[in-house]
Amino acid sequence: MTENDPRPTLEEVAALAGTSRATASRVVNQSPKVSPSARAAVERAINELGYAPNRAARSLVTRRSDSIGLVVAESEERIFGEPFFASLVRGVSDALAGTDMQLVLLLNRSDQERSRVQRFLSTHVDGVLLVSAHAEEPLLHQLADGPIPAILAGRPLRPTSLPYVDVDNVSGAYQAVRHLVDGGRQRIATIAGPQDMAVGVDRLAGYRTAVDEAATSDEDLVVVGDFSTGSGERGAQELLERHPDIDAIFAASDLMAVGALQALERAGRKVPADVAVVGFDDSVVATTTRPQLTSVHQPISDMGRQMILRLREALEGPTLVPSATVLPTNLVRRGSS
Amino acid sequence: MTENDPRPTLEEVAALAGTSRATASRVVNQSPKVSPSARAAVERAINELGYAPNRAARSLVTRRSDSIGLVVAESEERIFGEPFFASLVRGVSDALAGTDMQLVLLLNRSDQERSRVQRFLSTHVDGVLLVSAHAEEPLLHQLADGPIPAILAGRPLRPTSLPYVDVDNVSGAYQAVRHLVDGGRQRIATIAGPQDMAVGVDRLAGYRTAVDEAATSDEDLVVVGDFSTGSGERGAQELLERHPDIDAIFAASDLMAVGALQALERAGRKVPADVAVVGFDDSVVATTTRPQLTSVHQPISDMGRQMILRLREALEGPTLVPSATVLPTNLVRRGSS
DNA sequence: GGAAGGCCTGAGAGCGCTCCCACAGCTGGT
DNA sequence: ACCAGCTGTGGGAGCGCTCTCAGGCCTTCC
């Protein structure tokens, strides 16, 4: 029985099954209060007609949209750069499969639209995943005060009431530096990320902890970049000028590590013989340099997956949602250290 | 007047404006048949109450969802790799700003869900952007036969009735090889992409055209890879064994070019002195190798933008939608050639 | 001055669904 | 045998919106 009929309605299903619309609805919504026979009849009718519920009609009465918004508040290069965005989306999507929720993407719109976002969101999505690198994103505060649940990608620089999921940047940086220490490095410098992002702060904190612990040097071998290749190159150059005797550089991003590699080569330093280099992100570029880059791997897809899990907890139950979920990072050893 | 009232309805707007719900609706929907005074009153009321239409209610009656689906049928590495996915999404999102359409993301779900996709799509989205690398994607045929408009990202290997937007792979490859010819290269080999993807076929075609035109050699200096670094490395190695005298390699992806660089180095060939290398994609890795990679730039964001434009044409009007929209590519010269 | 036509408006139906409520048919306790 | 209680069912209202239709008012033309 192929049906030409576009979009059968619950009413038709009920008619075919010989029940009322209400009972058919109960079957669709997995209500336990349906007799086995009625359930079977309705299920048969659903299959025969190829019925799928009309989402709009359902939303109208339930006041839920069964969709969640992935909001990217800024078009930061770091966010769209590999592997972040694609990996995150993949993880989110994985976790959403099996659910009948859909993912609505909202990239940084113009500021005037931004002001309407709060209302927009509350109309169209049941929950929000917010990706925003910088501290003073107004949307963040709107969401914190608003009625719809939201989960942040990454620790916000200032504490908020919103739960976040993050990778363990502190531990990753710590592992990287420990690895350098274990390799006998004495003067370990870092090219840190921007200090107005938690990810920059955390990676620097991990570096500091490991360096202090090793007590190899008491100077401050820190320079700050912006995660880009260019800033890494300039940073490494500056480090070499100020402290010609450094024998290792921990860069807070792979791109900055690549820049450092370039600066070191120009300065005639051999990697890893003279100076060891470790990056962070474990991105594609880590395998395309020579030597290949030792780097800290971060499970971004899992971060996406966890964000959905947390959001569903917030959506469904009275369960307390953890205010922070931190996923482990691990060092991937390659030729540069 | 801050309103605590969550979600004012059209009825309330109308009441405040002193009109009927119908007139308020006309104002919201920009109907011309409203008197200036009524329009002004309703607009005032809308602002005062912070009214935003309930999408579900609207969808229910208009039978449109005002959202379009971005369907990624396979989790090909190439698609999620930088810069493709993020750039495409950014372009799509740009083109959607200003519209009140929303973007719904649908990644490759399980096969069993796949079978329901057609129905799912017709329920929930007004149009589809389909990203699918391989030829025999069943969804492609479903969409071609189905009622909802769809636009493909990239030329399908076999012609379909669906319009597509693509970057000019043929021309890009042609330019790359012409550049090598102009640089005096005599024996130009290529590491082609998979021949079951149009992108692989087209880039090889561009190579062949340029090589034939230059008539520098009549041998077939072609080896096939899968766009990955590893396959590029193996491919270059094979080329060097079979044709030790090659003086240039055009790789159909940057990652394969990176692999080629590695193979060439191992073989003791200098780049670009002994062998010139050109890649394709102009991705981040092109700037992280040494020497940096000459590569063909492809406007992926614009592709996303154009896809939306085509889709809206298909959605809105009786306008004929071009069956193909091809965007120019251009060569970015760097150190490797 | 009256009919014809224009413009704007409001009443009302209904999109497909969920959920409240009433009630039919059983069981089981007294 | 009677009432309580429980389970499963259907009727019906109504979510917020759009759109058709009828009609009121005002202009315009004969």
B28 touches strand D (CB under 7 A): yes
A317 — pLDDT class (breaks 50, 70, 90): confident
pLDDT digits (tens, 9 = 90+) for B264-315: 999 999 999 999 999 999 998 999 888 999 999 999 999 999 999 999 999 9
pLDDT digits (tens, 9 = 90+) for B234-255: 999 999 999 999 999 999 999 9
Say which range, A115-129, A182-196, B318-332, has the weakest mean pLDDT. Answer: A115-129
A47 touches B at CB < 8 Å: no
B contact test, residue of A116, A228, A254, A284 with most B CBs within 10 A: A284
Residues facing residue A72 across a β-bridge: A107, A131
A54 touches strand C (CB under 7 A): yes
pLDDT digits (tens, 9 = 90+) for A231-261: 999 999 999 999 999 999 999 999 999 999 9
Is B243:B267 a contact under the CB 8 Å cutoff? Answer: no
pLDDT digits (tens, 9 = 90+) for B47-104: 999 898 999 999 999 999 999 999 988 766 666 666 788 889 989 998 998 788 999 9
Question: What is the C-alpha separation between A248 and A56, in angstroms, rounded?
Answer: 59
State chain B's mean pLDDT as an integer: 89
pLDDT for the residue A139? 82
A contact test, residue of B284, B290, B334, B336 with most A CBs within 10 A: B284
A248 touches B at CB < 8 Å: no
A147 — pLDDT class (breaks 50, 70, 90): confident
Structure tokens at A253: 């991003």
A116 — pLDDT class (breaks 50, 70, 90): low
The percentage of residues in chain B with a pLDDT greater than 90, rounded to a whole number, is 68
Domains plus CATH for chain A?
10-62 (1.10.260.40), 67-166+301-326 (3.40.50.2300), 169-297 (3.40.50.2300)
3-state secondary structure of B15: helix
A115 — pLDDT class (breaks 50, 70, 90): low
pLDDT digits (tens, 9 = 90+) for B136-148: 777 888 888 888 8
A residues 82-101 near B, CB within 8 Å?
82-83, 85-87, 89-90, 93-94, 97
B residues 160-199 near A, CB within 8 Å?
none
Is B292:B300 a contact under the CB 8 Å cutoff? Answer: no
The percentage of residues in chain B with a pLDDT greater than 70, rounded to a whole number, is 91
Please tell me the distance in Å from B216's CA to the nearest CA on chain A. 31
Mean pLDDT of B165-183: 97
Chain A CB contacts of B59 below 8 Å: 55-56
A38 touches strand D (CB under 7 A): yes
Model pTM above 0.85: yes
Q: Is the pLDDT of residue B121 over 80?
A: no
Q: Is the pLDDT of residue B106 over 90?
A: no
Cis omega (within 30 of 0) on the bond before A272?
yes
pLDDT for the residue B215? 82
> Could you tell me which residue, B28 or B80, shows the higher pLDDT?
B28
B212 — pLDDT class (breaks 50, 70, 90): very high
Chain B CB contacts of A120 below 8 Å: 52
pLDDT for the residue B147? 85
CB contact under 8 A, B89 and A70: no
Which nucleotides of strand C come closer than 7 angstroms to any CB of the protein? Answer: 7-12, 14-20
Say which range, B159-163, B185-189, B215-219, B274-278, has the weakest mean pLDDT. Answer: B215-219
Secondary structure of B130-155 as H, E, C letters: EECCCCCCHHHHHHHHCCCCEEEECC
Q: Could you tell me which residues come within 8 angstroms of residue B262 by beta carbon, excluding any fewer than 6 positions away?
A: A290, B229, B233, B236
Output phi, psi for B237, to 5 deg. Answer: -60, -45
pLDDT for the residue A75? 64
